[in-house]
Amino acid sequence: MTSDFSAATAVLLPGSGSDGDFVRRAYAPLTALCARVLAVDARPPSVEAAYRSALDDAAALGPVVVCGVSLGSVIGSRWAAERCGAGVAGLVLALPPWTGPTAPDTPAALAARVTADTVDAVGPVEATARMRSSSPGWLARELSRSWAAHGAFLSPALREAAACPGPTGVELARVHTPTVVIGARGDAVHPAAVADEWASAIPAATALTVELAELGGDPAVLGRVAAKALGWAARP
């Protein structure tokens, strides 16, 4: 699988509660090969509207490389499916959380909804303290920063994510562009089976797996494995 990203804009879409800082670091080995990089942050009144606006603006300039994580993968994949891959030079979908309409017990949706309830009940400072006490160190550091950056939009953004429909198998089958789907072993919130579903449904997809602990220690593993799968690891 090879793609020429040298004239493309890389649009980086973070997961729910995360931010552009994380995805910029995570995809740096791949985006260094692109002409432009746009790391998108969630902003009111709608996370999805902000992501789609950034994708549309980038597409107006030329080919786009869409790099998502979790919710970012959901929105990016649906946007690419609507275009049937037209104008999309590459697609990297990391940690896909669900396929099709969300269910109340979907791990990622449940986690987002419970977190929003906690933020509303005790406030963002106490909610962050509770998260830090129950999370691995790397995740606590990442979310402490990104949650603070969300400000008052944290709870609404989480609730929007919990209700956001994922791509269906039919939609994914319309994505005719080089694609990498990345699952993480050890991640209960983003089941590996979902990544397998997405990779099986997308005609030009390559399925990859990383260790969650490896991702926590070095987020750039996402960009490295994606660049290699897309045939860009050896570019001068």
Tokens 């694609």, located at residue: 179
pLDDT of amino acid 4: 61
pLDDT of amino acid 232: 62
pLDDT of amino acid 8: 94
Which are the contacts of 4, defined by CB distance < 8 A and separation ≥ 6? Answer: 89
| Six token digits for residue 5 | 């990203």
Residue 28 has pLDDT above 50, yes or no: yes
pLDDT digits (tens, 9 = 90+) for 106-141: 999 999 999 999 999 999 999 999 999 999 999 999
pLDDT of amino acid 231: 82
Task: For the full predicted model, state whether its pTM sits above 0.85.
Answer: yes
Q: Check if the beta carbon of residue 226 is closer than 8 Å to that of residue 30.
A: yes
The model's confidence at residue 102, banded by pLDDT at 50, 70 and 90, is confident
pLDDT digits (tens, 9 = 90+) for 73-85: 999 999 999 998 8
pLDDT digits (tens, 9 = 90+) for 200-214: 999 989 999 999 999
Q: Where are the domains of the chain?
A: 9-99+166-229, 107-160
| Architecture of the 9-99+166-229 domain | 3-Layer(aba) Sandwich (3.40)
pLDDT digits (tens, 9 = 90+) for 126-185: 999 999 999 999 999 999 999 999 999 999 999 999 999 999 999 999 999 999 999 999
